[in-house]
Chain A
Amino acid sequence: MSPIPKSDRKRSIQPIRRLPSAGAAWLAVVAGLVAVAGDAPPPSAPAPWPVGKAVGAVAFDCVIEEDAPLAGAKTVMFLEYAVSPRAIAYSIVWAEPCWRAIHFPCPPIGTSLYADESSFVVRHALNDVEWRQSLPAEPRGRFMHTCGNYPLVDSRIAYQEARGRRLAVSDMPELEANARSGGLGDGGGFGSPLPDRPGRPPTRISVSDVEPERIGFFFFTFRPDDRRQFEYTLEAGRLKSILTECFEVKVPVGGFEIEAKTPEFPDGVVIEQLPARYHADGRIALVEFSPRSIGEVEVDLPERIRVGTQKRQVVGPDPLRRATMSNYRSLPEMPSADTIGSRFTTDPLFESEQTFRKLTAQHWNRPVVDVDPADAAWLSTFADDCLGMAREEPRLPAKLKLFYMSIASDLMLGNNSRVDSESLPSYLQALRDGGFGGIAEIASSQVADIRANWGRPEGDSEE
C-alpha cells in the first residue's frame, strides 16, 4: 500500500476536526436566535415603556445622605427642588454635621443651583456670590481636579451628559424593533444605534426583555466605561422601580501610561486621560416610584433613590448614597435663573443669620474670645430667640439650623450651662428622631472639640 500524500492527509483530517466545533457554534447561534425569538414579544405587543406625563412645574423636599469612604466623611443635606420640563433648580436649606468644614465644594447652606437648556447658574445667597456658565459643547475631557477639589459649576458637565443620554418616545420604534430581535439588532449583537441627537454620544441600546411587568436593556456609548444595565419593574402599567448597574470602573495605571515613543515627552511618559469615574465595586442604583397627584394628574414620581456597590448593597442598612423625596406639590411658576435662592433672602432671619455668620467667622477657633460688649449683647438676644423658635419649629432642617445658631452663640458667650442642659441635648435628639443617629454621634464629638478651642470659659464674664 502506498503512503497517503501529505497534502491529501491534511485535507482528510481538517474537515473531521473542524466540523464539530463549527457545527456547535452554528447550532449555538441558531439555538440562541430561536430562544430569543421565543422570548421576544409579538410584533404587535405594545412595549410598556414608562413615559412622562405633563403636569407643569413641581417642587419637592429631599434629604440626601452621602458617604465618602475615601475622605472618611458622612453628610446629610436637606434640599428643596423645583423642576419643570425645561429647567431644574435646587436650594440647600441645611446640612449636617455643621460644626466643622463639611464635605462639599463650598459652604452648602445657602447654595442654590439652576440649569435649563442653555445656562447653568450657581448662587450662594449668604456669601452673595454667583457663578453663571453656559453648558459645555464638548465632552468632559481630562479630569484635572485633585485633593478633593471639585467646583460645583462642573456639575454642568454631568447635567449635559445626563440630558444627552435621555430616551425619548421618538426612540421607541427603534427600541421595540431592537426588543423584537432580542437585542441583536443590526449591530452584530450590540443593539441598534439610536438616532443621532444633539448632545448625545453615539449610543446603542440592547433590549433584552420586554414583558408586561419588566423591561431590561443594556446601554452603551462610545466610551468603554460608559455601560449600564437597566431593569424597569412595572405593575398594572405603573412604574414601580428602576434598577441600574454600572460596572466596575477603575482609573488607568496611576493616571500615567508608558509609551514607547512620545515626541512631546522624551522620557517616554505621557499623561493619561483620567476617566471622570472611579467606580470601585461598581455602582448599583435603585429608584422606587409611587403614584402622586399633581393637580388633577396622577404621575409616578420617585420616592427614594439608593446607590450602593457590590459590597454596600442598595437594600442594606448602609448604602453609599440615599435620597428621600417628599412633599411633592404643584408650582404655579418655575423659578428663573435670576430668582433662585430668593427663599434665603426673603427669610425673616436672613439678615440676622448673616450677622451671626460674620461674628462667628470673626471669632472662630480662638481659645478665648474677647467679644465686643455690643456684639455679645446682640448674640445673647439672638441665642434666646433662636432657642425659642427651635422649640416650636416643626420642620427638621429649620429646627436644626435654629438650634445650631443658639448653641454656637451660647458657646461663644460661655453660656455652657444652657448648652448642656437644653439646647445641645434637644438638637441631638432632633437628629436622632429624624433617623440620623450616626450624624448625631459625629455632631456630639465635634461640639466637644469645638468647646475645647472656642468660646469664653465659663465664669469669665464681661467686666
Chain B
Amino acid sequence: MRLGWQTVLGVLALFVIANGVVTMLTEPGPGQWFGVSPAVEPPIDPRALPINRIGLAGEIEADTFTGPSLLSLEMRENVDFLLTPALIVQGAITEGDIVTYPEE
C-alpha cells in the first residue's frame, strides 16, 4: 500500500505537536516551574511552600544560590549544639520542668 504525501505530512505534524506538548509539560523553561507557566499559576505564598519543593531546576539552582548559605547553616548547627548539653542539664535540675531535647 502506498501512503500519500498528505498522510505522511499529517503524521509528521501530529508528531511535532505531540512532542511540543510533552516538552512543555515536562521541562520547565525560564520563569516556569513544573511545566506550568507563572501566568496561570497563582502567586506563591512562601509560608505555604512544601518543605521539599526543589525539583530538578531547584537542585541545580540550589548549588548556585544557597551553597554559601548552606555553609553558614552547617556552622549554625555546630555552634548552637554547644548549648544543648547545658539546656538538657538545666531541664534535669529544674523543679517543674519536663526533661526534653532542645532543638538546636
Which residues from chain A sit less than 8 Å from chain B, CB to CB?
49-56, 58, 60, 62, 64, 66, 68-71, 75, 77, 79, 81, 83-85, 88-90, 103-105, 113, 115, 143, 145-150, 152, 154-155, 158-159, 161-162, 165-172, 224-226, 228, 230, 239, 242, 244, 246-261, 268, 270, 272-274, 276-278, 285, 287, 289, 294, 299-302, 305, 307, 321, 323, 325
- Pick the contact of A143 from B44, B72, B77 — CB < 8 Å? B72
Question: What are 26 contact pairs spanning A and B, CB under 8 A?
Answer: A53-B93, A54-B95, A64-B85, A68-B74, A103-B75, A145-B72, A146-B69, A155-B79, A165-B102, A166-B97, A228-B103, A242-B99, A242-B100, A250-B54, A250-B62, A251-B70, A252-B58, A254-B61, A255-B65, A256-B65, A272-B46, A276-B73, A287-B88, A300-B99, A302-B92, A305-B88
Q: Which residue of A lies closest to B46 (CB)?
A: A272
In the complex the two chains form, is A88's CB within 8 Å of B75's CB?
no
Which residues from chain B sit less than 8 Å from chain A, CB to CB?
31, 33, 38-39, 41-44, 46, 49-55, 57-58, 61-62, 64-66, 68-104
In the complex the two chains form, is B61's CB within 8 Å of A253's CB?
yes
Residues of A within 8 A of B44 (CB): 257-259
**Could you tell me the distance in whole angstroms from the C-beta of B71 to the nearest C-beta in chain A?**
4
Tell whether A51 pairs with B72 under 8 Å between CB atoms, given A252-B46, A253-B57.
no
A278 to B62, CA, bound (A): 12
- Pick the contact of B74 from A71, A84, A259 — CB < 8 Å? A71
- Pick the contact of A168 from B86, B93, B98, B102 — CB < 8 Å? B98
Q: Which residue of A lies closest to B78 (CB)?
A: A66
In the complex the two chains form, is A165's CB within 8 Å of B93's CB?
no
Tell whether A150 pairs with B76 under 8 Å between CB atoms, given A77-B82, A166-B100.
yes
Tell whether A321 pairs with B81 under 8 Å between CB atoms, given A165-B103, A255-B69, A278-B74.
yes
Residues of B within 8 A of A224 (CB): 49-51
In the complex the two chains form, is B72's CB within 8 Å of A149's CB?
yes
In the complex the two chains form, is B51's CB within 8 Å of A51's CB?
no
In the complex the two chains form, is A251's CB within 8 Å of B86's CB?
no
**Could you tell me the distance in whole angstroms from the C-beta of B25 to the nearest C-beta in chain A?**
18
A56 to B93, CA, bound (A): 7
A318 to B63, CA, bound (A): 26
Known: A64-B81, A167-B98, A302-B92. 4 other contacts (CB 8 A): A53-B92, A90-B82, A145-B75, A255-B65
**Could you tell me the distance in whole angstroms from the C-beta of A286 to the nearest C-beta in chain B?**
9
Tell whether A168 pairs with B97 under 8 Å between CB atoms, given A75-B78, A253-B57.
yes
**Could you tell me the distance in whole angstroms from the C-beta of A92 to the nearest C-beta in chain B?**
8
In the complex the two chains form, is A51's CB within 8 Å of B96's CB?
yes
In the complex the two chains form, is A148's CB within 8 Å of B85's CB?
no
Residues of B within 8 A of A274 (CB): 66, 69, 73
A254 to B82, CA, bound (A): 28
Tell whether A88 pairs with B90 under 8 Å between CB atoms, given A158-B104, A224-B50.
yes
- Pick the contact of B98 from A154, A172, A261 — CB < 8 Å? A172
- Pick the contact of B94 from A52, A75, A154 — CB < 8 Å? A52
**Could you tell me the distance in whole angstroms from the C-beta of A91 to the nearest C-beta in chain B?**
11
Tell whether A268 pairs with B58 under 8 Å between CB atoms, given A60-B89, A104-B79, A150-B79.
no
- Pick the contact of A325 from B54, B68, B85 — CB < 8 Å? B85
Q: Which of A60, A68, A158, A168 has the most CB of B within 10 A?
A: A158
Residues of A within 8 A of B52 (CB): 248, 250
A294 to B94, CA, bound (A): 13
Tell whether A146 pairs with B65 under 8 Å between CB atoms, given A83-B89, A300-B92.
no
In the complex the two chains form, is A146's CB within 8 Å of B71's CB?
yes
Residues of B within 8 A of A71 (CB): 71, 74-75
A366 to B65, CA, bound (A): 37
**Could you tell me the distance in whole angstroms from the C-beta of B85 to the nearest C-beta in chain A?**
5
In the complex the two chains form, is A52's CB within 8 Å of B96's CB?
yes
Q: Which of A242, A253, A261, A273 has the most CB of B within 10 A?
A: A253
In the complex the two chains form, is B43's CB within 8 Å of A260's CB?
yes
In the complex the two chains form, is B94's CB within 8 Å of A85's CB?
yes
- Pick the contact of B66 from A167, A169, A246, A255 — CB < 8 Å? A255
Tell whether A278 pairs with B70 under 8 Å between CB atoms, given A68-B75, A161-B103.
yes
Q: Which of B46, B52, B100 has the most CB of A within 10 A?
A: B100
Residues of A within 8 A of B76 (CB): 143, 145, 150, 154, 158, 276
